[in-house]
Amino acid sequence: MHKFIPLLFLTFLLVSVSLKAENYQFEMSKVEYKNLVANLYLPKTDKKLPVVIAFGGFEGGLGTGNANGEMIAPHGVAVLGLAYFKEKGISQTLDQIPMEYFIEAINYLETHPLIDSSRIGVVGGSRGSEAAFLLATMDSRIKSVVVTTPSKVAWYGLTVPKSAWTFEGQDIPALGLALDSNANLIDRFSVALDNKANVNQSLFKFENINGPIFMISAENDQVWPSYQMSKDIELYLKNKQFKHKVIHNSYKTGHGFSKETAPEIKKSIINHFVSTL
């Protein structure tokens, strides 16, 4: 199946800049719960904490989740840095990932005595935006969403021509790439998105999300048209009279953003969760 350009995506964005932190020290511990592969970042406080489930995209593993933990936890919000493929004990490729895995992450947080399970958010970038949107549409316990360079639909996995995501053993409707491997990646995604019937079948049910949405897109995205898809999501939610706040910030960069935009993007993600959870 298709291969993504080897950008560092959000991981680079999160660890490449510094931001004045609040006065929260934090501890990181490995999660031992069912088959979850995750680290929990807990700010030190005597109050119950809001929490963000954080994961990456094409890069897989724990790196992006951990980077989010180091970024957000100093501001008084716990972070569950989650891997959903490319770690021991879980899928090695982004293929046929069960959404039940992400739901178990929410279930775990409900068991933790220091977490306020009424204040759970999710952040995902690139391919991870698909999982973030799906999780938020499927489980009302998610109360706040951040996605970077997002998709409005689900896509096939990385190595097999089937949906990247499943639920209750069934494929979640998804699109495959158009054209052939000789075409530019952005063109393969864009042409696939021109098939309105397929898009309508694979479009996320954004109106089911139980909280505010913050999208960050790239106007010169060379992987997929994240800017236009974000605009489409805005219009969709307006037409559905979505009751929660929707913010869309865009930057004149490629899919992985840039060092110049990183400080503002990082601060905006932190501020979103601090103000909405």
Alpha carbons 37 and 206: distance in angstroms, whole number? 27
Name the β-bridge partners of 2: none
Task: Give 94's contacts (C-beta < 8 A, 6+ positions apart).
Answer: 58, 60, 85, 86, 127, 157, 158, 159, 164
Compute the distance between CA of residue 236 and CA of residue 133 in angstroms, rounded to an integer.
14
Half-sphere exposure of 181 (CA within 13 A, CB side): 5
| CA–CA dist 119, 60 (Å, integer) | 26
Write down the mean pLDDT value for the chain.
93
Taking 90 as the threshold, does the pLDDT of residue 136 lie above it?
yes
Mean pLDDT calculated for residue range 224-241: 98
List all residues 6 or more positions away from 35 whose beta carbon is below 8 Å from its beta carbon.
Answer: 89, 90, 101, 104
> For a pLDDT cut of 90, what percent of the chain falls above it?
92
Give the model confidence (pLDDT) of 170-202 as tens digits: 999 999 999 999 999 999 999 999 999 999 999
CATH of domain 9-276: 3.40.50.1820
CB neighbour list of residue 177: distance below 8 Å, 6 or more residues apart:
1, 2, 155, 156, 188, 189, 192
User: Residue ranges of the domains in the chain?
Assistant: 9-276
Predicted pLDDT at 2? 46
- Contact between residue 226 and residue 150 where contact means Cβ atoms under 8 Å apart: yes
Total-model pTM = 0.94
What CA–CA distance (Å, rounded) separates 126 from 103?
20
> Which pLDDT belongs to residue 47?
94
